[in-house]
Amino acid sequence: MVRFENVGMRYGLGPEILRDISFTLDQGSFHLLTGPSGAGKTSLLKLIYLAERPSRGAISMFGRDIATTPRDELPALRRRIGVVFQDFRLLDHLTVFENVSLPRRVTGELEFHYRAEVEELLSWVGLGNRLNAKPATLSGGEKQRVAIARAVVAKPELLLADEPTGNVDPDIGGRIMRLFIELNRLGTSVLIATHDQRLIERLPATRIFKLAEGRIGTTQATHELALPEARRA
């Protein structure tokens, strides 16, 4: 589904942020991306959700070579990806309902087709009573849940999340992770960038990409981590 081969990336004429990145995300897989702040996690996600182009190397998404894909065909690929941005990137002048339904709206779908689904999803993430609220009136945790609902509302084939549980309490964090796991069971590939140790411990066996100084150093499975038994239970 996603294949990176010796990918490097730099912003403008600056230093290389990512170096020799090679990995594959298979359909229905569940991966974590970890690493210290500044390691390049967000830049790597940007490459995957086609917000940036690599400086070198080859990227293949859904069987298409990105370097040779015309610009007007990128939106169709982006619609197959759901993204939870680290800074949420909600549109402040739109309501919670409108923000969440945006991915359906941009495809030209009419509101009456998706209204019930969006309302149900918002209820599920605990925002059923905030449909008409504007983002400015929401807490950090509520904004994060809106961002997550927006990312999953179109049932993407690939879900990318940048620190999705960073601003929510453990209970809501648990619900969000269960939503990701459920989507993964339904066939969505999931890649979560996080350094939340509790989140890592809570997940089922999955691969972890450890990013350090712009390179993927090691890949490891969660069940291979040396975690205290009590915390893994």
Binding site for other proteins (CB under 8 A): 49-53, 71-72, 75-76, 78-79, 83, 89, 91, 93-95, 97-98, 102-103, 105-108, 111, 115, 119, 128-129, 131-132, 150
> Under a CB-based contact definition with an 8 Å cutoff, are residues 193 and 210 in contact?
no
Residue 18: Cβ-neighbour burial (10 angstroms; 0-12, 13-18, 19+): buried
If the CB atoms of residues 183 and 203 are measured against other proteins, the closer one turns out to be 183
Contacts of 173 (CB under 8 A, 6+ apart): 165, 196, 198, 199
Task: Work out how close the CB of 194 gets to other proteins at its nearest, in angstroms, rounded to a whole number.
Answer: 20
Range 101-104, long-range pairs (CB < 8 A, 24+ positions):
101/153, 102/150, 103/79, 103/150, 103/153, 103/154, 104/153, 104/154
123 token code pair: 């209820």
If the CB atoms of residues 188 and 222 are measured against other proteins, the closer one turns out to be 188
Task: Work out how close the CB of 230 gets to other proteins at its nearest, in angstroms, rounded to a whole number.
Answer: 41
If the CB atoms of residues 50 and 200 are measured against other proteins, the closer one turns out to be 50
Task: Work out how close the CB of 37 gets to other proteins at its nearest, in angstroms, rounded to a whole number.
Answer: 22
Task: Work out how close the CB of 1 gets to other proteins at its nearest, in angstroms, rounded to a whole number.
Answer: 17
If the CB atoms of residues 107 and 197 are measured against other proteins, the closer one turns out to be 107
- Paired with 159 in beta bridges are 82, 190
Residue 169: Cβ-neighbour burial (10 angstroms; 0-12, 13-18, 19+): exposed
If the CB atoms of residues 31 and 46 are measured against other proteins, the closer one turns out to be 46
Task: Work out how close the CB of 103 gets to other proteins at its nearest, in angstroms, rounded to a whole number.
Answer: 5
